[in-house]
Amino acid sequence: MITVQGFEGLRVGVLGLGRSGLATCAALAAGGAEVCAWDDSAEGRAKAEAAGFACVDLTRQDAVPQLSVLITSPGIPHLFPKPHPVIAAALQAGVPVDNDIGLFFRALTDSDEPPKVVCVTGSNGKSTTTALIAHVLNEAGRAVEVAGNIGTGVLAIDLPGEDGVVVLELSSYQSDLARILAPDVAVFTNFSPDHLDRHGGLGGYFAAKRRLFSEGAPARAVIGVDEPEGQYLAMQYAEDAQDSRAIRISSGQRLQGQGWSVFARRGHLAEWRGGRQVASIDLRNIPGLPGAHNHQNACAAYAALRALGLAPRGIEAGLTSFKGLPHRSQLIAEKDGVRYVNDSKATNVDSAAKALQAFPKIRWIAGGLGKDGGLEALVPHLGAVVKAYMIGHSARDFALQLGDTPHEICETMARAVARAVAEAEPGEVVLLAPAAASFDQYPDFEKRGEDFTALVQAALNG
């Protein structure tokens, strides 16, 4: 656990008592702060009290003005669509508001041997890129901790020391509010519309991502330039065309110029510096990184690792042994020439489109609680689909949008898996990429992916 100092004897409010909130309470208490914990749910408050933290009703009119600072969890709105009442009271009273990411970087200033810090943000691929960087570092014998929007609350980790690395996945919610951002390496994977209500529109969403670079001023910035927002960010960060502080990355296009770039084309990763190629890696046969979207993740991870001083051949060895993250293009089985892939995390059409472009012949299981627009945006990406098996609340609505693509309305995961396993032929992939939320049949995408995995394994072993 990290001890947060500088608040000794001061009243510090902690709003939101989930994983990161409880870790924040512990880190502040260890530093001598008087922690005033609060959660809108009785369950959250009960967990905090069981852990030994006093709950103070911060919704009382006189509670917030008595605080020296308010620390809020990332899921709680602080500006759009409207501030949470406790945060609104803090803004009105002039009480500073921060989050655990800001406290983490504050705590680093008190460390005698601070580790290197890599922060990964972007719209898609953050978790895989974060896990990939950490995996390669582990394989290279470096001490590494992973936290943030993936795995552990950042204040719950132990700092790995001067030669170690902390890899943080940061959502826009986290980067938007942190009062201190000071990564050594910052990564921007890509950009597409998301969380627009929380940020007041697309511009606010991009501004939240951009803070990691404008406020954080990393020594190296790894920036995906396949969208105009990334191109703009790279342009702002670099002093001139030769500035190697900005490493531009891409999947699908060869990057020009005299600067530092890493790109993937036709399954091959290439690193260029000063107008010449200095390294390359064949990504095509790495099972944990299928498809162009994962090749983009590989480029982002490779560039960050090069910025940390790792050699190309060591990075290649780590990429090759990477097994992928659960529920993200995860190969769960292979039998009789048929592969079974769990991409339950593909909860929207953008991520599902990337999955559908990763394989040549697909028996596609999709559906759930559909989002605005349904599957309309996926129609151009259905060319590899041999047959679709529709499940969940949106099964029939989705089926109406498939056009000439062969399909079957199965409703349940069990029937969809049984039908796909029975009909699959050698060379095909049975792919779960729902393009929908899970909440009609499952509590979360993890449970949906676990059910798919269990049903596949039972069918193949039965």
Dump pLDDT digits (tens) for 146-182: 999 887 899 999 999 889 999 999 999 999 999 999 9
Of the candidates 330, 334, 333, 356, the residue with the CA atom closest to the CA atom of residue 343: 330
Domain span at 387: 330-461
Q: What percent of the chain has pLDDT over 70?
A: 100
Whether residues 79 and 150 share a domain: the answer is no
Do both 355 and 223 map to the same domain?
no
Nearest to 358 by CA among 443, 273, 257, 284: 284
Cis amide prior to 406 (ω within 30 degrees): no
- Does 216 lie in the same domain as 295? yes
Count of domains observed in the chain: 3
Is the pLDDT reported for residue 212 higher than 80?
yes
Report d(CA 67, CA 48) in Å as an integer. 19
CA distance readout (Å), 53 to 15, 50, 94, 156, 183 = 13, 7, 25, 16, 31
Q: Is 231:195 a contact under the CB 8 Å cutoff?
A: no
408 and 303 assigned to the same domain: no
- Pair 306, 186 in one domain: yes
Same domain as 317, residue 194: yes
Tell whether 232 and 131 lie within a shared domain.
yes
Calpha distance 86→74 (Å, rounded): 14
* Annotated binding residue 148: no
> Are both 306 and 392 inside the same structural domain?
no
Residue 342 has pLDDT above 90, yes or no: yes
User: Which residues are registered as beta bridge partners of 247?
Assistant: 222, 260
**Residue 305: pLDDT over 90:** yes
Q: 123 a known binding residue?
A: yes
Over the stretch 37-54, which tens digit does the pLDDT of each residue have? 999 999 999 999 999 999
Q: Where are the beta strands (DSSP E) in 228-380?
A: 246-251, 260-265, 268-273, 276-282, 330-335, 338-342, 362-367
Residues 6+ apart with CB under 8 A from 227: 190, 191, 192
**Is 82 known as a binding-site position?**
no
- Do both 56 and 86 map to the same domain? yes
Q: Which among 199, 156, 152, 192 is positioned nearest to 175, based on CA atoms?
A: 199
User: Rounded to an integer, what distance in angstroms lies between the CA atom of residue 417 and that of residue 451?
Assistant: 10
- Please tell me whether 111 is known to bind a ligand: no
Residues 80 and 150 in one domain: no
Residue 1: inside a domain: no
Q: State the amino acid at position 414 in one-letter form.
A: A
Q: How is residue 234 written in tokens?
A: 């790279």
| Predicted pLDDT at 138 | 96
Q: What is the model's pLDDT at position 151?
A: 75
Q: What is the pLDDT of residues 96-130, one digit of tens each?
A: 999 999 999 999 988 888 999 999 999 989 999 99
Cα 114 to Cα 196, 290, 427: the distances in Å are 35, 35, 49
Task: Write the CATH number for 39.
Answer: 3.40.50.720
pLDDT of residue 372: 78
Residue 407 belongs to a domain with what CATH number?
3.90.190.20
- CA distance to 29, 46, 59, per residue, from 76 (Å): 22, 19, 14
What's the confidence (pLDDT) of residue 241?
84
Residue 422 lies in a domain: yes
Is 126 annotated as ligand-binding?
Answer: yes
At 30, the pLDDT band (50, 70, 90 cuts) reads: very high
Q: Which amino acid is at 389?
A: Y
In a domain, 381, yes or no: yes
Looking at residue 408, what is its pLDDT? Answer: 97
Which of the four pLDDT bands, split at 50, 70 and 90, describes residue 351? confident
The residue among 321, 350, 366 that closes a domain is: 321
Residues 228 and 277 occupy one common structural domain: yes
